[in-house]
Amino acid sequence: MDSRRRITVLVALSVVLSVLCIRQLISERPRFPDPFLVATDTEEASTKPMSSRLWRRYSRSRPAMQIGKNHEQVREAFVDVVAGANPATVQIMHDDKAVALGTVVDSGGLILTKASELPKEIMCRIPGGLRREGKVVASDEDYDLALVQVEAPPLTPAEWSTENAPAVGSWLAAPSGFTDDPLSVGVVSVPPRRIRPESGVLGIWLDDSDNGPRVTHVIDGSGAEVAGIRVDDIIRRIDGDLIDSREKLTSTIRKRRPGEQVWLDVMRATESIRVQANLTRYSDLVPDEEVMQNTIGGPISERRSGFSEVIQHDSLIQPHHCGGPIVDLEGHVVGINIARAGRTATYALPSHVVRERLDLMRAQLNP
Amino acid sequence: MCLVLFGTVVQSGPSLVAAETAVSQADLKRIFAGQAPRNVAELKAMQDHTQRLAKKVTACTVGIRIGAAHGSGVLISEDGYVLTVAHVAMRPGMVAHVIMPDGTTYDAQTLGLAWLPDASVLKLRDADKKWPHLELGDSSSLQKGQWCAAVGHPGGYDGERPPVFRLGRVLSLGEFIRTDCQLVGGDSGGPLVDMEGRVIGIHSRIGTSLTNNQHVPIAVFQESWDRLIAGEMWAFPASPYLGVRGSDNTNTAEIASVAPNSPAAAAGVEPGDVIIGFGKHEIATFRQLQHHVWTRKPEDKVELKIQRGDKVITKSVTIGSRSE
Instruction: Determine which of A3-12, A100-109, A183-192 has the lowest per-residue pLDDT on average.
Output: A3-12
**Which ipTM score applies to this complex?**
0.82
Pure H helices in B215-320: 218-223, 225-229, 263-267, 286-294
B269 or B239: whose pLDDT is higher?
B269
**Cα distance between residue A28 and residue A14, in whole Å:** 18
Query: Rounded distance, CA B213 to CA B194, Å?
Result: 16
> Which of B51, B171, B184 is facing A344, going by the closest CB pair?
B184
What single letter denotes the amino acid at residue A327?
A: V
pLDDT at residue B321, rounded to an integer: 85
C-beta atoms of B209 and A38 within 8 A = no
Q: Do B160 and A191 touch (CB under 8 A)?
A: no
| The B301-308 sheet, strands edge to edge | B281-282, B274-278, B301-308, B311-318
From B53, B164, B183, residue closest to A189, measured CB to CB: B164
| B138 in catalytic set | no
Task: Give the contacts of B308 (CB within 8 A, at least 6 positions apart).
Answer: B270, B272, B273, B274
Average pLDDT over chain A reads: 86
Which H/E stretch holds residue B121?
strand B119-124
pLDDT value at position A36? 52
First to last CA, chain B: 47
Among A79-83, A201-205, B71-75, B114-118, which is the least confidently predicted range? Answer: B114-118
Least-confidence region, from A135-139, A253-257, A362-366, B237-241: B237-241
Residue B18 confidence (pLDDT): 44
- Banded pLDDT at B293 (limits 50, 70, 90): confident
Nearest residue to A124 (alpha-carbon basis) of A145, A151, A146: A151
b/e for B51-90, b at 16 or more Cβ within 10 A?
A: bbbbbbbbbbbbbbbbeebbbbbbbbeeebbbbbbbbbbb
Q: What are the tens digits of pLDDT across the range A112-159?
A: 999 998 999 999 999 888 999 999 999 999 999 999 999 999 999 999
Distance to chain B for A129, nearest Cα, Å: 28
State which amino acid sits at residue B130.
Answer: K
Q: Judge whether residue B242 has pLDDT over 60.
A: yes
pLDDT tens track for B182-196:
999 999 999 999 999
More confident residue, B13 or B200: B200
pLDDT of residue B278: 94
The H or E element containing residue A59 is helix A52-61
At residue A111, does pLDDT exceed 80?
Answer: yes
Q: Which of A217-226, A292-301, B137-146 shows the lowest per-residue confidence on average (mean pLDDT)?
A: A292-301
Model pLDDT for residues B88-145, shown as the tens digit of each residue: 998 999 999 999 999 999 999 999 999 889 999 999 999 889 999 999 999 999 999 9
Catalytic choice (B27, B49, B72, B118): B118
pLDDT at A8: 65
Q: What is the pLDDT of residue B239?
A: 78
Round to whole Å and give the CA distance between A223 and A200: 10
Average pLDDT, chain B: 90
Q: How many other CB atoms are there within 10 angstroms of residue A264's CB atom?
A: 24
B193: distance to nearest CA of chain A, Å?
Answer: 14
pLDDT surpassing 90 at residue A75: yes
- Cα A346 to Cα B164: distance, rounded to the nearest angstrom: 12
Residue of A nearest to B154 (CA): A344
Is A18's pLDDT higher than 60?
no
> How confident is the model at residue B297, as a pLDDT?
80
**Tens-digit pLDDT profile for residues B30-48:** 999 999 999 999 999 999 9
For position A44, what pLDDT does the model report?
Answer: 38
With beta carbons under 8 A apart, name residues in chain B contacting A41: 207-209, 212
pLDDT tens for A21-48 read: 332 222 223 334 454 545 444 433 333 3
Q: Do A42 and B207 touch (CB under 8 A)?
A: yes
Residue B235: predicted pLDDT: 80
pLDDT at A328 over 70: yes
Quick one: pLDDT at residue A13?
Answer: 60
Residue A364 burial by Cβ neighbours in a 10 Å radius (0-12, 13-18, 19+): exposed
Q: Which of B113, B166, B211 to mutate to test the interface with A (most CBs of A within 10 A)?
A: B211
Question: B237: distance to nearest CA of chain A, Å?
Answer: 11
Q: Please check the confidence at residue B52 and state whether its pLDDT lies above 50.
A: yes
- Whether A44 sits inside 8 A of B207 (CB atoms) is yes
Chain-chain contact of A32 with B164 (C-beta, under 8 angstroms): no
| Residue A290, CA atoms < 13 Å, CB-side half-sphere | 18
Minimum mean pLDDT range among B17-31, B155-169, B268-282 = B17-31
- Using CB atoms, pick whichever of A26, A193, A343 lies closest to residue B184: A343
Cβ–Cβ gap A342/B155 under 8 Å: yes
Four-residue CA torsion sign, B307, B309, B310, B311: negative
Listed range (A4-18, A212-226, A327-341, B227-241) with the worst mean pLDDT: A4-18
Which of B43, B51, B209 is closest, CB to CB, to A44? B209
Which residues are CB-contacts of B59 (< 8 A; sequence separation ≥ 6)? Answer: B101, B132
Mutate to test the interface with A, among B87, B151, B208, B216 (most CBs of A within 10 A): B208
Calculate how close chain A gets to B45, using CA atoms only, in Å: 11
The reply to whether B188 belongs to the active site is yes
Instruction: Report the 3 state secondary structure along A71-113.
Output: CHHHHHCCHHHHCCCHHHEEEEEECCEEEEEEEEEECCCEEEE
Distance of CA B207 to the CA centre of its chain: 13
**Integer Cα distance of B22 and A154 in angstroms:** 39
Identify from A11, A22, A34 which residue to disrupt to test chain B contact, counting B C-beta atoms within 10 A and taking the largest count: A34
- Rounded to an integer, the average pLDDT of A242-271 is 94
Does the pLDDT of residue A311 top 50, yes or no? yes
Q: What is the C-alpha separation between A223 and A269, in angstroms, rounded?
A: 21
Query: Is residue B291 annotated as part of the catalytic site, yes or no?
Result: no
Cα–Cα nearest to A102, from A354, A365, A290: A354
pLDDT of residue A82: 97
Q: Considering Cα of B191, then B184, then B210, then A188, what sign does the dihedral take?
A: positive
Band (pLDDT 50/70/90 cuts) for residue B298 is: confident
For A64, nearest residue in chain B (alpha carbons): B171
pLDDT at B38: 95
